[in-house]
A and B are shown apart, each in its own frame.
Chain A
Amino acid sequence: MLAVIETTPPINMPTVTFITPDGKQTVIKNTDGTLMDIATENSIEGIEGACGGVCSCATCHIHVTPEWIERVGPADETEQDMLEFEEATHPGSRFSCQVELTPDLDGLIVEVAPLS
């Protein structure tokens, strides 16, 4: 299944693809904010964003695909300390609320971490 969602500008902002554990791909164009913001705005299954993005609730876990890890960057210490206790962690694990979207992330593909 593939869904393409186009939001209104800001122009020049990246297109991002979410893949949920059931294999469904959602392409979101002209994104703005954080990965969690766009995931919740577009009802990506498995991303709740319960704490609104302050890195407290751990309901926004994603896996960044290997080719993107470097550009997305690593988790900082606060985030790392939390990821350490999560299930289904992966070398590309991040909390999506901590990934700010910038033009150089155009084409980014992330997978929603499976629920334990």
Chain B
Amino acid sequence: MSHCPYHDPFKDARKKGPVLPTQFDGEPVPMILGLKDVRKAARDFKTFSSNAPFRIPIPAEEDVRSVRQFPLEVDPPDHTDYRKIVEPFFKRPTQPEYITRVENLIGEILTDACQRDSIEIVREFAIPLQSRALTYLLNMPESEANVWIQWGTHVFRDESGVSKGAEMEAYCHQLLDSAAANPGDDFFSALVQAEFQGRPLTRDEMLGFANITFAGGRDTIINTVAVVIAYIAEHPSALDTLRENPKMILTATEELIRFTTPLTHIGRVCPVDTDVHGKTVKAGDLVSLCWASANFDETVFDSPEEVRIDRKPNPHIAFGNGTHNCLGAPHSRLLVRTLLRKLCELTSSVKLIEATPKVEQEADYERNNAYESLTVQITPSSP
């Protein structure tokens, strides 16, 4: 069985203790590492609060956006009311028409990829796939994706070094203006018509909802899609296994999402001085919930560094846990399941040509998180 020695940078830290004391943006941040401890902290919003605009994602995003993200950066009970506003959109991926549209989309993009000598997956496959699929979630015309595709892999921190954050906010203002003037049944129209505790949303709140949908739902999907393709390229027999056991698409999806854990960690603020597994966190300081470490916790996962596409149970928390668990999870799961299914149906092999890992270089760890670029050759299945 193969292992990826570069994939779990927290293994040594977990041996030393339940937290990795480190810094981000020059501030001390203990990272909580074990699956049970992360889950427990994610459920304890009184001790580990999300009520901290710009500081929940780490590093902080004050420099790249002007609005607080909703419902991410709010604690219950208000969180519950904010989350309800957008929940119906995030449930759309269970509708049969939605599933068919995603199947057609991935079928089209894969068929096109098969006709090329080679394809760079991140920019020519994953970004268009992510952007076009997001129009289905937000119930918007598919042509809007042409605007979003130009924002790069990460709206705020694309490899080009240019943040598209301001451009995205200006674009959202425009969409909200036209929705207010002429409401339809898309996401932006729902925001302008929504009520929060008996009053309409403020413009900043609307922008905050839009902001996380565009920014948070982006590199996560792009990274996962790239790792799925890379995995198939490295394991040619996996497609045969899945063709023989179509039910295994479900477990393979969860396992590849666990293995990728595209969101490494997220922050919480301690409102009062707090002892976090022996480390004191001062009132107002951050802790990190490290999903990426939790998902490789050897006390829970047998051979965590091995990809086992039939892994079950697989209690990973790549989508978070508890109150703030990922609203985009049904959409994300549908994309990965459909991608695997269509790879089985339409292709016979994926050959790796070039791969440049994307590295998160932090003060005390270095983590590979998918790819800057990944070039492959995809061969169609013989008719």
B: contact size bracket: 20 to 34
The reply to whether the CB of B322 lies closer than 8 angstroms to some CB of chain A is: yes
Q: Are A51 and B333 in contact (CB under 8 A)?
A: yes
A63 CB to nearest chain B CB (Å): 20
Q: Are A85 and B315 in contact (CB under 8 A)?
A: no
CB nearest to B252 among chain A residues = A52
Chain B, 291-319, contact with A by CB distance < 8 Å: what is the 0/1 string? Answer: 00000000010000000000111111101
Q: Are B254 and A56 in contact (CB under 8 A)?
A: yes
Instruction: Kindly identify, within residues 326 to 381 of chain B, every residue whose CB is under 8 Å from any CB belonging to chain A.
Output: 329-330, 333, 337
Q: Which of A1-9, A19-27, A74-82 contacts B (4 or more CB under 8 A)?
A: A74-82
Q: Are B254 and A50 in contact (CB under 8 A)?
A: no
Q: Which among A48, A52, A81 is the interface contact of B315 at CB below 8 angstroms?
A: A81
Q: Are A56 and B40 in contact (CB under 8 A)?
A: no
A105 to B202, CA, bound (A): 54
Q: Are A54 and B300 in contact (CB under 8 A)?
A: no
The reply to whether the CB of A55 lies closer than 8 angstroms to some CB of chain B is: yes
Chain B, 245-269, contact with A by CB distance < 8 Å: what is the 0/1 string? Answer: 0000011011000000000000000
CB nearest to B314 among chain A residues = A54
The answer to whether residues A50 and B316 also contact, given A81-B36, A85-B43 and a CB cut-off of 8 A, is no
Q: Which among A50, A54, A82 is the interface contact of B312 at CB below 8 angstroms?
A: A54
A12 CB to nearest chain B CB (Å): 22
CB nearest to B295 among chain A residues = A56
B221 CB to nearest chain A CB (Å): 16
Q: Are B315 and A53 in contact (CB under 8 A)?
A: no
B296 CB to nearest chain A CB (Å): 15
A55 to B255, CA, bound (A): 12
Q: Which among A52, A78, A81 is the interface contact of B250 at CB below 8 angstroms?
A: A52
Q: Are A78 and B300 in contact (CB under 8 A)?
A: yes
Instruction: Kindly identify, within residues 34 to 91 of chain A, every residue whose CB is under 8 Å from any CB belonging to chain B.
Output: 48, 50-57, 76, 78-79, 81-82, 85
Q: Are B322 and A54 in contact (CB under 8 A)?
A: no
B117 CB to nearest chain A CB (Å): 35
Residues of B within 8 A of A (CB): 36, 39-40, 43, 94, 250-251, 253-254, 300, 311-317, 319, 321-322, 329-330, 333, 337
- Interchain Cβ contacts under 8 Å between A and B, 11 examples: A48-B94, A50-B329, A51-B250, A51-B314, A52-B250, A52-B333, A56-B254, A56-B313, A56-B314, A56-B315, A79-B313
Apart from the given pairs A54-B251, A55-B312, A56-B317, 12 other A-B contacts in the complex at a CB distance below 8 Å: A51-B254, A52-B253, A52-B254, A52-B337, A53-B250, A78-B313, A78-B315, A79-B313, A82-B39, A85-B39, A85-B321, A85-B322
